[in-house]
Amino acid sequence: METSIRNETESDYRRVEEITREAFWNLHVPGCDEHYLAHVMRTHRDFIKDLDYVVLVDGELVGNIMFARSSVVNEKNAAVEVLTFGPVSVLPEYQKKGIGSSLIRHAMRRAGEMGYTAVIIYGNPKNYCRHGFKSSKDYGISAADGKYPFSLLTLELVKGTFADHAWRFFESDVYNIDEHEAEEFDRTFGHKEKGYRYTQVEFSIARRAFIE
């Protein structure tokens, strides 16, 4: 199995959206909207084209990762630009083979080379702690409302970036998906049946959990 990573090109767009749809379908909710997020992110002001990567296995495109600019603001109202990634997708039949991990590692390395100091995401700790992410509370970073979500995770690319301050995280508004537009976009793809998976319950619990 020969794996390679390169930047996404315009000719990849629809295939990436198809892969993202397959990867997330019924995972968090019945259906999904992550493929619509991939679609609209590319034209958003916070999108970082240089960190938009696809991964290929034996020449076949099987996964993708995309980044946007977000920010944190401290108690003195000083802001620091940070990265947020998502969606990150791998076709189901290629998952649990280290492909997604290699894609994330490649992107993190490149982000550091570009001078970014931190990555903050909403994600499942069991998926991202292996890559060095920790609870954002460990760095004094809350959500915008001052709470500490279980799923808010931080990776410092430059150690000490958040030292000696309290921070609030403000995610790029590209992640505020219009559900109606997402449904309309999904109709441009082949029919897939929406249904229940136990992972939807896990996701519902995680998104409502906070750290005291």
Q: What tokens does 168 get? A: 């609030």
Give the tens place of pLDDT for each residue, 59-74: 999 999 999 999 999 9
C-alpha–C-alpha distance, residues 171 and 179, integer Å: 18
Of 132, 178, 159, 131, residue with least CA distance to 36 = 178
Quick one: pLDDT at residue 23?
98
Contacts 24+ apart (CB under 8 A), 42-51: 42/13, 42/66, 44/68, 44/172, 44/174, 46/70, 46/172, 46/173, 46/174, 47/174, 48/83, 49/7, 50/7, 50/110, 50/114, 51/83, 51/85, 51/107, 51/110, 51/111, 51/114
Q: What is the CATH number of domain 3-173+185-207?
A: 3.40.630.30
| AA identity, residue 190 | G
Dihedral sign computed on CA atoms, order 37, 7, 107, 96:
positive
pTM: 0.95
Please give the C-alpha separations between residue 41 and each of 30, 47, 69, 172, 190, in angstroms, as whole numbers.
22, 6, 11, 10, 22
C-alpha–C-alpha distance, residues 55 and 2, integer Å: 10
C-alpha–C-alpha distance, residues 169 and 136, integer Å: 9
Q: Which residues of the chain are under the pLDDT cut of 50? A: none
Kindly tell me the burial class for residue 17, based on how many C-beta atoms sit within 10 Å of its own C-beta (0-12, 13-18, 19 or more).
Answer: buried
Give the tens place of pLDDT for each residue, 177-199: 999 999 999 999 999 999 999 99
C-alpha–C-alpha distance, residues 188 and 178, integer Å: 16
Quick one: pLDDT at residue 68?
98
Beta-sheet strands, E only, within 139-183: 141-142, 152-156, 167-170
